[in-house]
Amino acid sequence: MCYPYRVVCERTVEVVVRGEDRTTRRVALRPFRPEAEMKELLRAALRAEGWSAAEGGGDRFEKAGPEGEQQTFDLDRMELEARMAAEETLKKTRRLEGGAYTERHEGPTEAEKAALEAKVQEELARTMAVPPEEAAARRDALARAAGEKLQAGEPRRLEELDRVLGRVYGAALRRMAESMGQVVSEKVSRAGGETELLIEIAL
């Protein structure tokens, strides 16, 4: 006589999908002073705007943007890069029941139950994989969303870059003026996105 027995197994599969996008902008410094001096002024201006030296070596500064973007200013390449990334976890949970028979009236042995459970778990593993095309579609969607956020924040980043360069040029022009004579007065005016610095010196 055969006696039926069953096992129920549950399995959860999680796949983390990551999508990202980035923008890179070349920055040119006007040579009001020697290159090494202009870059030192740029470092000071970046620190004044909340940037900090990047880890890992190199003449690089980093700053996190308000929308979650990570910004890197590479002074060796004179490039400003903004990166935006997003992650999503694709999760699937399934319960599967498997059955078998034993001739033992007292029920299945531990080995028989373990063998049936292993068979059910194998079936779950075979049918629970996240399809590569599904993961790729979500990765592309995340990258598009990251790109849209980067694009929306571009005016703000350009405004900050203008402030940084304004600090650099202002400091460089002051040094130029000091090398020509005694600075008597200094006036800064801003209108229509333009900054004017008027320095009066006594020769």
- Tens-digit pLDDT profile for residues 33-90: 999 999 999 999 999 999 999 988 789 999 999 888 999 999 999 999 999 998 898 8
Q: What pLDDT shows up at residue 45?
A: 96
| The pLDDT of residue 164 | 93
Is 23:150 a contact under the CB 8 Å cutoff? yes
* Residue 119, domain extent: 1-154
Q: How confident is residue 137, by pLDDT bands cut at 50, 70 and 90?
A: very high
In a domain, 123, yes or no: yes
pLDDT at 24: 95
Please state whether the predicted TM-score (pTM) of the whole model is above 0.75. no
Q: Does 113 map to a domain?
A: yes
Specify the number of domains making up the chain. Answer: 1
Examine residue 190 and state whether it is found in any structural domain, yes or no. no
Q: How confident is the model at residue 8 (pLDDT cuts 50, 70, 90)?
A: confident
Name the CA radius of gyration of the chain, rounded.
32
Query: Which DSSP state fits 56?
Result: T
Spatial distance between the Cα atoms of 186 and 203, rounded to a whole number of angstroms: 15
